[in-house]
Structure 1
Amino acid sequence: MTDALYGDAGFFTRGAAGPAGHFRTSVHASPLFAGALHRLIGRIDAALRHPPRFDVVDVGAGGGELLAALRPLLADTLGPRARLTGVEVAPRPPGLDTSIGWRHDVPHGVVGLLVATEWLDNVPLDVVEADRDGRVRRVLVEPDTGAESLGGPADAAEAFWLARWWPVRSPGDRAEIGWPRDVAWADAVSAVRRGCALAVDYGHVRSERPPLGTLTGFRAGRQVPPVPDGGCDVTAHVAVDAVAVGTGSPYVLLRQRAALHALGVSAARPPLGQAGTDPAGYLRALSRAGAAAELTDAAGLGGHWWLLHGIDIDPPLTEVPTDPARPAHSSEPE
């Protein structure tokens, strides 16, 4: 999986189309997403009492689309205090504004917001399966064909993680060992000196783990078998509760639908009467409502998880009781 995604011929390091040519994220769906993050940044800035420098670090920045959308918004509100940085394994995208930094590793000492949108699902992991005798064994895969077989048993550290976060009980059941995501996110959060760290991704919690796992592939907007040959995205949903606890920082865990509603994104249609008095404005408002509906659709992007940590401040989002997924606020899930 590591070679398939990040090797010399990996999915994220080759090809002119880039990830945006293969799948659609909230960042690509609508500028309303960047607008919501801009309002979140305003809350963080106020909680930090308007520091002389405000960092916005995008981990897994892709083509820099999010930072490019945020740059003019922040120019109006933070002005020269804003410092934007993309973190990505791929080279700097051509045409990206020169005011946006670009690097291959997460900078330390961040004061502001570190955000990772659909990054953790691409942190490589191992898959295990219970054999006919109930023994938990690694799933091996041929890189060129995707053909699978069962290998040796999970080691002690993997077995410990599985027992705590994803027990495998029945023959044929699978689990995706998420400790590499726990470590990756804890490392990223540790780079924030003051402010917030936000992960946005599709995932699950312990009470809802899928018995057959979630590993899959995407190519040109279509789901395909996860053959790790570098020609498709190989991804698996995130065990978000395990990731949340691994940092040791206070957090809020809620669905994107609830988070965007709290940040002013509404899918309410404009009043029909506006069509007669202000046709152009009505069409613009209708378009915004349609984009908001896509971002907040509980069966789609709205079902993504937002994991928001506060470092030296309280997370500036709170539980929304009407949201179908009950957020966790403690350092240990129930």
Structure 2
Amino acid sequence: MSWMRWRPATEQALYGPDGFYRRPEGPAGHFRTSVHASARYAGAVARLLGEVDEALGRPAELAFVDVGAGRGELLAGVLAAVPAELAGRLRPYGVELAARPPGLAPRVEWTPELPAGVSGLLFANEWLDNVPLDIAEADGDGVLRYCEVDPATGRERLAEPVGGADARWAGRWWPVAEPGERVELGGPRDEAWAAAVGALERGLAVAVDYAHTAADRPLFGSLTGFRAGREVPPVPDGTCDVTAHVALDAVAVPGFHSLWTTQREALRALGVSGGRPPLALASSDPAAYLRALSGAGEAAELTDPAGLGRFGWLAQAVRMPVPGSLGGLPGWQTLVP
């Protein structure tokens, strides 16, 4: 056996030279995200980008930073959806370790690093759940110990007690009560999100992910794998995605106006509704009715509370007013880190 902590094992499995996220088929070859489900998702993000533009006073240059950009699907969708006047002032960035995808608009700056000092909308769709972290478990005496994994088989063993910053993080955000309970030590994600928020001079930072807060931490963790559209054991050998849900309340950077809600509520605020078109339209304009029905089906998938609609949205305003679709609407709650 070749034992490693989960964080370096996952880092190697996902982002190493032969890692999962560097495979030619990309994430879309293995699982379906909101971006792949419907162009309405990019349309909603484009609307939010327009509201950020308004809140910033329509600057001469507005950034759209797609963090964890995959193969550029969201970037392409947003560029297609924004009005011409805004498109002329827009500076789009794709932040991604994988190589630049073919066919992406030349104006998109494709980079492995966060751009610094930009103003606009930073959007991270299903990024934080793939920021590697360590896993810990309470032993028979209730002592929280790091889990080590064999990358070839996924077998685990308990190692030394958790200490230092990890112990402080667990005590603050995810205390354990019983032997066998597991903790996904989220400090690296907090740091990654703080760096993303810190990249904005002014603007709005939004993280979207399967998530939990202190009221509903999973007792035995959420670590899992995905391959070819199926959930599989999380073996960190590079053949599958290895992911864990995000402690959204811990991630929020102190000192900024912070709001959170579900994707269902966020998309509804941005005009995405799964309501069926009026039946009378089927008689007056059958083609339009079928288009509207198809769109309603896509919207229903995006907002399904048992599926994509239960994603968490965290929005943090950086030296700007909260955009209209977020502030004061039902479903959005103020989050105090």
Is the contact made by 1:174 and 1:211 (CA closer than 8 Å) also made in structure 2? yes
Distance 1:102 1:86 in 2: 5
Distance 1:175 1:164 in 2: 12
Which residue number in structure 2 is paired with residue 215 of structure 1? 223
Post-superposition shift, 1:74? 2.5
Q: Which amino acid aligns with 2:267?
A: L
Q: Which amino acid aligns with 1:294?
A: E
Distance 2:328 2:18 in 1: 43
Is the contact made by 1:27 and 1:34 (CA closer than 8 Å) also made in structure 2? yes
Which residue number in structure 2 is paired with residue 94 of structure 1? 102
Is the contact made by 1:39 and 1:263 (CA closer than 8 Å) also made in structure 2? yes
Aligned length: 326
* Structure 1: gaps spanning 5 or more residues: none
Post-superposition shift, 1:159? 1.2
Is the contact made by 1:74 and 1:82 (CA closer than 8 Å) also made in structure 2? no
1:12–1:247 Cα change, 3 Å: farther
Post-superposition shift, 1:16? 1.7
Post-superposition shift, 1:330? 4.3
Post-superposition shift, 1:156? 2.2
Q: State which of 106, 119, 125 in structure 2 corresponds to 1:111.
A: 119
Which residue number in structure 2 is paired with residue 128 of structure 1? 136
Distance 1:329 1:75 in 2: 31
Post-superposition shift, 1:314? 2.3
Q: State which of 264, 268, 272 in structure 1 corresponds to 2:275.
A: 268
Distance 2:333 2:156 in 1: 36
Which residue number in structure 1 is paired with residue 45 of structure 2? 37
Relative to the length of structure 2, the TM-score reads: 0.94
Deviations 1:222-241 (A, max 9, x none): 00000000110000000000
| Residue 300 in structure 1 maps to residue 275 in structure 2 | no
Distance 1:5 1:55 in 2: 28
Which residue number in structure 1 is paired with residue 12 of structure 2? 3
Which residue number in structure 1 is paired with residue 318 of structure 2? 311
Which residue number in structure 1 is paired with residue 336 of structure 2? 331
Counterparts of 1:1-334 in structure 2, within 5 Å, are 1-13=10-22, 15-74=23-82, 76-244=84-252, 246-316=253-323, 317-321=326-330, 323=331, 327-332=332-337
SS of the equivalent of 1:12 reads helix
Distance 1:276 1:330 in 2: 47
Distance 1:320 1:250 in 2: 15
Deviations 1:201-253 (A, max 9, x none): 11000010010000000001100000000110000000000001x34321111
Distance 1:203 1:52 in 2: 35
Post-superposition shift, 1:72? 2.2
Is the contact made by 1:253 and 1:305 (CA closer than 8 Å) also made in structure 2? yes
Does 270-279 or 246-255 show the bigger shift? 246-255
Is the contact made by 1:87 and 1:106 (CA closer than 8 Å) also made in structure 2? yes
1:98–1:75 Cα change, 3 Å: farther
Post-superposition shift, 1:169? 1.2
Deviations 1:139-159 (A, max 9, x none): 110000001111111012111
Distance 1:38 1:275 in 2: 30
Q: Which amino acid aligns with 2:99?
A: P
Deviations 1:113-143 (A, max 9, x none): 1110000000000000011111110111000
Distance 2:36 2:109 in 1: 20
Distance 2:195 2:255 in 1: 11
Does 290-299 or 153-162 show the bigger shift? 153-162
Post-superposition shift, 1:79? 3.1
Distance 1:93 1:112 in 2: 23
Distance 1:140 1:328 in 2: 37
SS of the equivalent of 1:299 reads coil
Q: Which amino acid aligns with 2:18?
A: A
Which residue number in structure 1 is paired with residue 3 of structure 2? none
Is the contact made by 2:249 and 2:335 (CA closer than 8 Å) also made in structure 1? no
SS of the equivalent of 1:78 reads helix
Distance 1:39 1:184 in 2: 26
Distance 1:38 1:55 in 2: 12
Is the contact made by 1:251 and 1:315 (CA closer than 8 Å) also made in structure 2? no
Identical-residue share of aligned pairs (%)? 56
